[in-house]
């Protein structure tokens, strides 16, 4: 493709993208294809001869778009949003054009320098404490990673190395001695990473990658699924009693299932007792809300007091497309000490001068993308004010949705406090029980068989209730201190039935593809998560979504009653 060919093709692609975006609200949000659909459409070998661009582009419309889940649709209310905007797309274009895997400052000074500047812009826009700025006296700073998981595992490596070094130093073991190496090898085998049972699975995965252990700490619905200082302290003491070395703790601002927030303020009071415990705040989705003064006032200072590192994904809710995961640390030396390897081919006078940043030492890969451009373009095109307006709009849509659920409290219950435009609801257990079985029959079934679970047409689901799946690959441990409403068998049966029917409702909604929502199970309750950060989503979309949920719920309840009549 020569310059003229590129000009024509690029213009055609831009037109196609604009047309795709304008038709999004009318497309079913989920694709209607079967697994493997593409095999039948695309030859099994690459073409021997070059093909003209118009032919290739036509196949995007006919073969690729039918297999897309439309994350940018205002009817996409599943998982968390992953937004894209035009300024961000333009950043991607330039980034691709300039392709420079800028691992060292010298590899493309603008890549590094723009990244440092825009990370400071972001930190200031969120009112993160000054300790996270590149200009801070303590050596803070920000770096753009590909994902929250990557940011987390990178800080875990830094935490592991800091922990071992500090322990060995404290024991007076000299560098380079066998004794020190042996002691470090022993301690390494005892290291344990912690998080609440609501934290994203990336902490568990990070522990797997760093070769350390992992323990989750239970939370309770009565504490709004938040990790508190007493629960943490108990877990830390238990680790010590078991001969383990807790070196890393993930706290969350906006958990995946319900957007719970850990109790930063109370946990900050424990910091002085555990100075060598690295505390990371995972704010992958909800960190974007810190663009608003109301959340800054609530959280920013505590974030600075409690954490060594903080991460949020601009590519979820803050209008920059995937990938733009912003990691901030209070002391970048911990990253560079843990991750810096200096072979001769990477040495250069600028690095040796100490005047430049080499971001390769702040991350796992060597090469990196020029992601700062898209953040720069988005922040300039929208202004911080525009970002605030966008987040406020999502919050308003979320509040409208919550209010509608509250109005139908005869049908639904809300699980956990709705936050950050996420509402979690489920069918009320008493409504489920009334539709399915007369209470007397419920009791008979339970007391005759000693079984606390009702028969269900899809019993595989019952079997999976213990180890719950958030729908985002996250496995949550069952709360040791059960949140079930008591030990009464009938109540438990109603709970199980409400869980099963809620899952049926969600599955039926998703199978029809008008809206896309995520069912999840946490604290032994199956719920439907509804969230929309899409700038195009309005209160009308929230109303449409709620109408679909109500309609489908009534349909599932009717079916349940009919099945019951047939059985009797
Ligand atoms: N942390 C939280 C709270 C999340 O909700 C998610 C995913 O949604 C992640 C981490 C993982 O994000 P990533 O895909 O950027 O690794």
107-124 pLDDT per residue, tens: 899 999 999 999 999 999
In angstroms, the CA 418 to CA 399 distance is: 8
Residue 105 lies in a domain: yes
Name which of 449, 441, 456, 455 is nearest 490 in CA terms: 441
Residue 209 lies in a domain: yes
Residue 446 lies in a domain: no
Q: What is the pLDDT of residue 399?
A: 97
Residue 227 lies in a domain: yes
Which CATH number fits the domain that encloses residue 115? 3.40.640.10
Please check whether residues 262 and 309 belong to one and the same domain.
Answer: yes
Residue 166 CB contacts under 8 Å (≥ 6 apart), including other chains? 276
Please check whether residues 47 and 155 belong to one and the same domain.
Answer: no
Closest ligand 1 atom, residue 283 Cα: 3
Task: For residue 283, give both structure tokens.
Answer: 């704010």
In angstroms, the CA 250 to CA 202 distance is: 10
Distance from residue 309's CA to the centre of ligand 1 (Å): 15
Q: What is the pLDDT of residue 467?
A: 30
525 bridge partner residues: 522
3-state secondary structure of 343: coil
Question: What tens digit of pLDDT does each residue of 127-149 get?
Answer: 999 999 999 998 999 999 999 99
Closest ligand 1 atom, residue 80 Cα: 8
Task: For residue 26, give both structure tokens.
Answer: 């009318």
Task: For residue 278, give both structure tokens.
Answer: 């690295």
Tell me the residue range of the domain where 333 lies.
100-341+353-369
Distance from residue 55's CA to the centre of ligand 1 (Å): 37
- Sign of the alpha-carbon dihedral angle for 564, 482, 199, 398: positive
Closest ligand 1 atom, residue 149 Cα: 16
Q: Which residues line ligand 1 (CB under 6 A)?
A: 80, 147-149, 200, 202, 252, 255-256, 282, 284-285, 313, 325, 472
Name which of 32, 113, 41, 18 is nearest 356 in CA terms: 113
Distance from residue 300's CA to the centre of ligand 1 (Å): 20
Please check whether residues 401 and 521 belong to one and the same domain.
Answer: yes
pLDDT range class, residue 455, cuts 50, 70, 90: very low
Residue 459 lies in a domain: no
SS (H, E, C) 454-493: CCCCCHHHHHCCCCEECCCCCEECCCCCCCCCCCCHHHHH
Q: What is the pLDDT of residue 6?
A: 98
Residue with tokens 């373009």: 377
Distance from residue 80's CA to the centre of ligand 1 (Å): 9
pLDDT range class, residue 438, cuts 50, 70, 90: low
Residue 397 lies in a domain: yes
Count of structural domains, the chain: 2
Please check whether residues 190 and 308 belong to one and the same domain.
Answer: yes
Q: What is the pLDDT of residue 437?
A: 67
In angstroms, the CA 199 to CA 217 distance is: 10
Residue 512 lies in a domain: yes
Closest ligand 1 atom, residue 254 Cα: 3
The average pLDDT across 460-468 equals 29
What pTM value is reported for the model?
A: 0.90
Q: How many other β-carbons are positioned within 10 Å of the β-carbon of residue 149?
A: 20
Looking only at Cα atoms, what is the longest distance across the chain?
85
Task: For residue 25, give both structure tokens.
Answer: 């609200």
Number of C-alpha atoms within 13 angstroms, CB side, residue 80? 26
Distance from residue 399's CA to the centre of ligand 1 (Å): 23
Residue 433 lies in a domain: yes
Beta strands 213-217; 245-252: pairing state: unpaired
pLDDT, averaged across the chain? 90
Task: For residue 103, give both structure tokens.
Answer: 């691992």
The more confident residue out of 100 and 297 is: 297
Rg (CA), the chain: 26
Please check whether residues 148 and 295 belong to one and the same domain.
Answer: yes
Q: What is the pLDDT of residue 444?
A: 52
Please check whether residues 359 and 409 belong to one and the same domain.
Answer: no
Pocket-testing residue among 313, 424, 472, 520, ligand 1, by greatest number of atoms within 8 A of Cβ: 313
Beta strands 245-252; 278-282: pairing state: parallel
The average pLDDT across 388-400 equals 97
Residue 279 parent element (H or E): strand 278-282
The average pLDDT across 169-198 equals 97
Number of C-alpha atoms within 13 angstroms, CB side, residue 271? 17
Q: Do the beta carbons of residue 80 and residue 284 sit within 8 Å?
A: yes
Please check whether residues 111 and 140 belong to one and the same domain.
Answer: yes
Name which of 488, 126, 490 is nearest 290 in CA terms: 126
pLDDT range class, residue 563, cuts 50, 70, 90: confident
In angstroms, the CA 436 to CA 558 distance is: 9
Please check whether residues 248 and 114 belong to one and the same domain.
Answer: yes
pLDDT range class, residue 386, cuts 50, 70, 90: very high
Smallest CA separation from ligand 1 atom 5, residue:
256
Please check whether residues 177 and 78 belong to one and the same domain.
Answer: no
Which CATH number fits the domain that encloses residue 544? 3.90.1150.170
Closest ligand 1 atom, residue 146 Cα: 15
Give all strands (DSSP E) within 108-255, no chain letters: 141-145, 191-196, 213-217, 245-252
Distance from residue 183's CA to the centre of ligand 1 (Å): 35
Please check whether residues 247 and 318 belong to one and the same domain.
Answer: yes
Whether 469 has a pLDDT exceeding 60, the answer reads no
Smallest CA separation from ligand 1 atom 14, residue:
147
Q: What is the pLDDT of residue 346?
A: 76
Distance from residue 472's CA to the centre of ligand 1 (Å): 9
Please check whether residues 113 and 261 belong to one and the same domain.
Answer: yes
Task: For residue 126, give both structure tokens.
Answer: 């969120």
414 bridge partner residues: 425
Please check whether residues 149 and 286 belong to one and the same domain.
Answer: yes
Closest ligand 1 atom, residue 151 Cα: 16
Distance from residue 282's CA to the centre of ligand 1 (Å): 8
The average pLDDT across 445-459 equals 39
Q: How many other β-carbons are positioned within 10 Å of the β-carbon of residue 11?
A: 10
């Amino acid at each position: 493709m020569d310059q003229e060919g590129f000009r024509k093709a690029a213009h055609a692609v831009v037109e196609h993208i604009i047309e795709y975006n304008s038709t999004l609200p009318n497309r079913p949000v989920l694709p209607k294809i079967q697994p493997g659909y593409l095999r039948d459409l695309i030859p099994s070998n690459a073409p021997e001869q070059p093909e003209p661009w118009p032919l290739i582009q036509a196949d995007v419309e006919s073969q690729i778009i039918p297999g897309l889940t439309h994350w940018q649709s205002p009817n996409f209310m599943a998982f968390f949003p992953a937004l894209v905007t035009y300024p961000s797309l333009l950043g991607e274009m330039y980034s691709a054009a300039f392709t420079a895997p800028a691992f060292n400052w010298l590899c493309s000074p603008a890549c590094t320098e723009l990244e440092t500047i825009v990370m400071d812009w972001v930190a200031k826009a969120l009112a993160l404490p000054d300790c996270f700025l590149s200009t801070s006296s303590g050596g803070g700073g920000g770096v753009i990673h590909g994902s929250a998981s990557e940011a987390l595992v990178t800080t875990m490596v830094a935490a592991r190395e800091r922990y071992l070094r500090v322990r060995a130093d404290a024991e007076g073991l000299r560098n380079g001695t066998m004794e020190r190496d042996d002691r470090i090898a022993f301690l390494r085998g005892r290291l344990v990473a912690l998080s609440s049972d609501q934290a994203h699975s990336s902490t568990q995965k990070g522990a797997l990658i760093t070769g350390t252990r992992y323990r989750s700490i239970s939370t309770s619905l009565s504490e709004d699924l938040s990790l508190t200082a007493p629960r943490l302290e108990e877990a830390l003491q238990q680790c010590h009693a078991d001969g383990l070395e807790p070196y890393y703790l993930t706290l969350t601002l906006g958990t995946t299932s319900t957007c719970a927030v850990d109790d930063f303020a109370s946990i900050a009071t424990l910091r002085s007792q555990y100075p060598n415990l690295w505390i990371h705040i995972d704010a992958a989705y909800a960190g974007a809300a810190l663009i608003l003064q109301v959340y800054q006032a609530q959280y920013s200072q505590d974030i600075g007091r409690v954490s060594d590192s903080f991460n949020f994904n601009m590519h979820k809710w803050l209008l920059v497309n995937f990938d733009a995961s912003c990691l901030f640390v209070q002391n970048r030396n911990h990253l560079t000490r843990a991750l810096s390897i200096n072979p001769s081919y990477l040495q250069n006078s600028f690095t040796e001068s100490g005047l430049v940043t080499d971001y390769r030492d702040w991350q796992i890969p060597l090469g990196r993308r020029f992601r700062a451009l898209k953040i720069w373009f988005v922040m300039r095109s929208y202004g911080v004010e525009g970002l605030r307006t966008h987040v406020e709009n999502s919050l308003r849509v979320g509040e409208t949705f919550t209010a509608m659920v509250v109005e139908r409290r005869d049908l639904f219950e809300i699980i956990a406090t709705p936050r950050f435009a996420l509402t979690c609801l489920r069918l009320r257990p008493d409504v489920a029980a009334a539709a399915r079985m007369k209470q007397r029959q419920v009791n008979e079934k339970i007391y005759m068989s000693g079984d606390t679970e009702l028969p269900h047409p899809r019993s595989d689901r019952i079997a999976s209730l213990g180890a719950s799946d958030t729908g985002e690959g996250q496995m949550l441990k069952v709360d040791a201190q059960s949140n079930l409403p008591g030990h009464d068998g009938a109540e438990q049966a109603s709970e199980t039935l409400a869980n099963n029917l809620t899952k049926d409702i969600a599955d039926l909604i998703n199978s029809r593809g008008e809206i896309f929502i995520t069912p999840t199970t946490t604290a032994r309750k199956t719920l439907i998560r509804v969230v929309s950060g899409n700038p195009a989503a309005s209160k009308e979309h929230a109303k449409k979504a709620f109408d679909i949920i109500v309609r489908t719920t009534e349909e599932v309840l009717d079916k349940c009653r009919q099945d019951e009549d047939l059985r009797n």
